[in-house]
Structure 1
């Protein structure tokens, strides 16, 4: 789900199943029904729609406008703030913007030692998601993950929203 939310914030779209008869309790059994609610309430827009085999739809969805993108960013950041205190988030942003690798390394090490166990960090995916979450804290940028570029495939890339930054 995080990858799809990041894609939306980066101006991308994705295809998802939309259940036109979805009811709130179904979210517990099928978390992907959240996209049906977001579409119905206007927090997503249908870019294209194809009738599914059972009468529901497969829709390519995207954010409807910049105002909704701000809501998504604030909601995601609020969730992250519960995990990462604001002073720490600010220090991470400063270390990234100034290129202070030593400070960033120390901050990440401290956060990991204080919050996770050996069992959480068994695979690379944990660290990748952790770093992608940290990158979401950096205002004025958007992060992309595991994409092909002219130089090969990168893990995470930060791009400024405005040229010249």
Structure 2
């Protein structure tokens, strides 16, 4: 669900109601496609209660709040723990990005994909770009904690095309980042490694770095990353590449140590 749902859950945990539109007839098959389905589900199982209800055909507009003290206790233990576990992935991914450790990024993303099995089981029904969109959104979520020091831009025109993600440092002495995502095309590529290389090639050939250069970032401080995907398989290549084999071995050890 969108990032602002975390804020709304935090509001509930302070004892404050939030105003929502509820579909009381929601069914499980539509949970993924309806942004309000989270609240419909929580209301249906009794974790939240509805007040100031206004009904209009199949929709119910109301203020919702946590049902009782027992449920509030559950929210504070179970849900806070869920968000805390997510912070580990954020930290591992952003640490890997800033330290130019592609192996660590691959590890974090494959771990998350492993727990998203149901998504990939149904992705074939959501269009050919569904896995690419999943990973695009996943990476945006993983780097959201960088917003204090970076401006994060998605799907913006630069050079001769439109990049997927660019990360502009507020401190122009720091590295900037361009990220491009591609799903394996079986007519052009045989492996996700080739797909990642093609994503990196697109950054170069379409001159995506032009906007960062105009912003004042030196060329040697622009870090380019190509991501290749095939289901749960992920590969990342970079320009410049990881420095040497020792860094790669050290990065794999860090990835295990920080989990």
The alignment's TM-score, normalised by the length of structure 1, stands at 0.52
**SS of residue in 2 equivalent to 1:72:** helix
Where does residue 5 of structure 1 map in the other structure? 9
| 1:80/1:47 CA distance change after superposition, 3 Å | same
**Residues 141-160 of structure 1: CA deviation (Å, up to 9, x unaligned):** xxxxxxxxxxxxxxxxxxxx
- Aligned residues of 2:31 and 2:37 also touching (Cα < 8 A): yes
Tell me how far 1:2 sits from its aligned partner.
Answer: 0.4
| 1:125/1:25 CA distance change after superposition, 3 Å | farther
Which of 28-37 and 58-67 deviates more?
28-37
Task: Please state if 1:115 is matched with 2:83.
Answer: no
Residue 18 of structure 1, aligned match among 18, 22, 46: 22
Where does residue 66 of structure 1 map in the other structure? 69
- Aligned residues of 2:23 and 2:36 also touching (Cα < 8 A): no
Residue 56 of structure 1, aligned match among 51, 59, 71: 59
Residue 29 of structure 1, aligned match among 29, 33, 47: 33
Where does residue 79 of structure 1 map in the other structure? 82
- Aligned residues of 2:25 and 2:58 also touching (Cα < 8 A): no
Q: How many positions carry a matched residue from both structures?
A: 100
Larger RCO (CA under 8 A, 6+ residues apart):
1
**Residues 83-126 of structure 1: CA deviation (Å, up to 9, x unaligned):** 357xxxxxxxxxxxxxxxxxxxxxxxxx9763313672563499
- Aligned residues of 2:17 and 2:65 also touching (Cα < 8 A): yes
User: CA separation in 1, counterparts of 2:62 and 2:74?
Assistant: 22
Runs of 5+ unmatched residues, structure 2: 99-139, 151-259
User: CA separation in 1, counterparts of 2:19 and 2:70?
Assistant: 22
Task: Please state if 1:41 is matched with 2:45.
Answer: yes
Tell me how far 1:64 sits from its aligned partner.
Answer: 1.1
User: CA separation in 2, counterparts of 1:60 and 1:83?
Assistant: 28
